[in-house]
Amino acid sequence: MLNGPDGIISVSPVITIHLATGNAHKVQEMQALAVASALPLNIVAAAGMPPVTEDTGTFTGNARKKAAALKAVLPPDVWVLADDSGLCVDALDGAPGVESAYYAGPAGDSAANLAKLVAVMRAVPPGRRGAHFACVLVLLGPGGTEQVFEGRSPGTLRVEPAGGLGFGYDPLFVPEGFDRTYAELSATEKNKASHRGRAWLALAEWWRLTVIME
């Protein structure tokens, strides 16, 4: 809601952003972040998302590749957002990193990825269980607009998973400042501490200054 000419209050129109993912959890998180930021945005899952091989070796490159693939099959005036994120473990020299979604192999799923990490890290002592989640958001819009936003959440890994919320590696990761895993935090708590939440804060600030103020 903005002050218009002659002091008249106008309401910003709701803008739809197409998220380049088939992951319903990510769509829910992004929509919750938009609501928490009081931005007039409707986050929707990609319809007909083209297959993308995430082979750039970086979070930014993978996110940009996914965003461009979706943008190419949608009308030119729409907004597209792509996320690439992963868990980087200190004791594993940053692995699984950009390969977080495929850590257990091409045929693996989230449960297999988590189980592999638990097994690989089981003998690692508490003082060496540092890790961080990283997230890169690439936003593409009308007229060739491209913006990149990054967020990071440092923390540690438990020996055994805990919690039934979230997804992926959430049951193993305890963010800095908490004594519970991502999977034990409420959505509100997680969004404030998470890598994706921090990347979104940067996006929200840019959106207010650039899109809403136009």
In this prediction, residue 11 carries a pLDDT of 55
Give me the chain's average pLDDT, please. 90
Mean pLDDT of 14-33: 88
Nearest to 152, CA basis, from 103, 102, 90, 198: 198
Nearest one of 157, 138, 16 to 88, comparing CA atoms? 157
Mean pLDDT within 177-204: 92
Are 153 and 133 in contact, with CB atoms under 8 Å apart?
yes
Is residue 165 very low, low, confident or very high in pLDDT (cuts 50, 70, 90)? confident
Domains, the chain, with CATH or none: 2-212 (3.90.950.10)
Mean predicted confidence (pLDDT) in 71-89: 95
∠ Cα 1 17 28 (to 5°): 95
Tell me how far apart the alpha carbons of residues 73 and 43 are, in angstroms, rounded to a whole number.
Answer: 17
Residue 83 annotated to the active site: no
CB atoms within 10 A of CB 172: 26
pLDDT class for 181, splitting at 50, 70, 90? very high
pLDDT above 70 coverage of the chain, percent: 93
Share of the chain above pLDDT 90, in %: 70
Instruction: Tell me if the pTM is above 0.85.
Output: yes
Instruction: Give yes or no for residue 26 having a pLDDT over 90.
Output: no
Q: Which residues of 133-167 are buried (b: 16+ CB within 10 A; e: fewer)?
A: bbbbbbbbbeeeeeebbebebbbbbbeebebebbb
Output the pLDDT for position 166.
79
Q: Which sign, positive or negative, has the C-alpha torsion 13, 201, 60, 144? A: positive
**Choice among 84, 93, 170, 179 that is catalytic:** 84
Residue 55 phi, psi dihedral angles, 5° rounding:
-120, 20
Q: For residue 10, give the H/E element and its range.
A: strand 9-10
Quick one: the chain helix, strand, coil %, rounded to 5? 40, 25, 35
